[in-house]
Every structure is written in C-alpha cells, then in structure tokens.
Homo-oligomer: A and B are copies of this chain.
C-alpha cells in the first residue's frame, strides 16, 4: 500500500528526515515554513565547479547574506554532512533554474540537470528562527495568506565582489509591531547562521529606492504602530547571477527550503 501524503499538521510534527522523504517521493509539494521547527532550513545555490571558488569567496565576504552551512564536493549529490541520507537532487520540493542570468523555469527535482561538475552551497535562512523568536516571547501575527509572497528588495548597499560575482545586497522585509523591534534585533543578532542582526530598521528609503515596487514578492505598507525591519537575504545570489549573466545557477524556489538535521543553536 503506498504511503499516504501527509497533512501539514502531520508534517509539522515529523522529524527532518521524514519530511525529506515525503518531499523526495513527491508526497509533499508545499512550502516548508512551520516544518521541523528548531532545525535549520537552508537555501540552496548550485553553480558549476568553474564558478564555485569565486562563489565561495563571495559567500565568505558577504556572510550576512550567505551564512555557509555546507558546500558539497563537485558532483557529489549527498547531503549526509547536514541531512542524513539527503540528496541535493530530490530533497527540495521546487527548484528554480536561471540561464544567462534569467529565470528559465522551475523543476521538482534535479535528476536530469545535476552534473558531475556541479557544486551545491547550503546557506542559513531566517525561516529557521521560528523557535528562538517564540522562546523570546515574540509572537508575530500570522500572515493572512492573501497577501502574496513576502517582498524582497535590491538595496543601494553593494556586496563585496569576488570573481564574477557582484551586485546589490538583497534584503527581506519583516513588518513588526514597534514593541518587537528591540527583541527582534537582539534575538536575530545572536544567530549569524540565520543572517544575524538586521541590516536596517525603519524608513525604507535609507537603503531602498522604491519600497512600493519590490524586486520580488508583493508590496506591503507599514501600518501605524509598526516598523519595517530588513535582513540580508539569500536572494542576493540570484541578483548577482542576473548581474553577471551567469550561464547557469540553480536555487531552491522561494519557500521551498532544504530541511536539515542541524539544530538551531547559539554558538558552535
């Protein structure tokens, strides 16, 4: 008898490895927010070996955008180092493919695209902070669901370049009740592996030219009694690939993160 597709509630209670197995088998195609709370969920960036050393220096120099969790050996699809039994080709629900710096489509696995010269980078993500934020008493209102994807913006802040990689720092937005500005800053600052402290707090014009037209996602307004907070974002990789017209880049799709076995902790 085939294994039934899990409900979101069932999946939310499952271990990281079980979640990966459901995704690998195609039984779960939804986003990963709210799953495996307390474990790192990671961004994926795949580049050819020829670009990998440049990209790794780009990550090291812009560590707020790219807190490195793991870098695979060229051609090796195993993610055992961070996700037991994991496979980079199948364990994410949806992948985005960029060619010559342009988005060319999404796929549900990389079985046909993964090559012997591919290198996969896994970088930390703010989605992993759900437990530390909750433990600090920060209970952010749930999104209504009809707002569309969270906006991301290319800023006027330039990344430190490395080889072919350069471009603007991309930030994600959180609009939070004013009383949470200080604790959100304090908690996130303790988690450099999840982008760390905010890049900017308050008036978006400080770092962004057009707050009403985000580069990705849906515009938001800042209600009275709320503050806009901005954190470095892994989408910085896509911005660099677009700028460089990089022949090839593969990433996870927005909201479809790699669920790892690594617990979110402070310090190493």
Known: A52-B53, A53-B53, A162-B73. A192 touches B267 (CB 8 A): yes
Contact B81 A57 (CB under 8 A): no
Contact partner of A160 among B63, B68, B81, B268, CB < 8 A?
B81
Question: Closest CB-CB distance, A190 to chain B, in whole Å?
Answer: 7
Contact B163 A73 (CB under 8 A): yes
A189 in the interface (beta carbon within 8 A): yes
Contact B53 A267 (CB under 8 A): no
Of residues 57 to 107 in A, which have CB atoms within 8 Å of B's CB atoms? Answer: 57, 60-61, 63-64, 68, 70-71, 73, 81
A192-236 contact mask (Cβ, 8 Å, vs B): 1 or 0 = 100011000000000000000000000000000000000000000
Interface centre among A49, A192, A267 (most CB of B within 10 A): A267
* List of B residues within 8 angstroms of A181 by Cβ: none
* List of B residues within 8 angstroms of A197 by Cβ: 268
Known: A73-B57, A81-B61, A162-B73. A267 touches B190 (CB 8 A): yes
Per the CB 8 Å criterion, the residue count for chain A at the interface is: 24
Known: A189-B267, A267-B189. A60 touches B53 (CB 8 A): no
Known: A56-B53, A56-B56, A73-B163. A192 touches B68 (CB 8 A): no
Question: Closest CB-CB distance, A1 to chain B, in whole Å?
Answer: 40
Contact A60 B52 (CB under 8 A): no
* List of B residues within 8 angstroms of A196 by Cβ: 267-268
* List of B residues within 8 angstroms of A56 by Cβ: 53, 56-57, 60, 71
Interface centre among A56, A63, A70, A197 (most CB of B within 10 A): A56
Known: A53-B52, A53-B56, A73-B162. A268 touches B63 (CB 8 A): yes
Q: A60-B71, A64-B268, A190-B267 are in contact. List 12 more A-B contacts (CB 8 A).
A: A52-B53, A53-B53, A53-B56, A56-B57, A57-B71, A60-B68, A60-B70, A73-B162, A73-B163, A192-B267, A192-B268, A196-B268
Between A and B, 27 residue pairs with Cβ closer than 8 Å are A49-B53, A52-B53, A53-B53, A53-B56, A56-B56, A56-B57, A56-B60, A56-B71, A57-B71, A57-B73, A60-B68, A60-B70, A60-B71, A61-B70, A61-B81, A63-B268, A64-B268, A73-B162, A73-B163, A81-B160, A189-B267, A190-B267, A192-B267, A192-B268, A196-B267, A196-B268, A197-B268
Binding site for B on A (CB under 8 A): 49, 52-53, 56-57, 60-61, 63-64, 68, 70-71, 73, 81, 160, 162-163, 189-190, 192, 196-197, 267-268
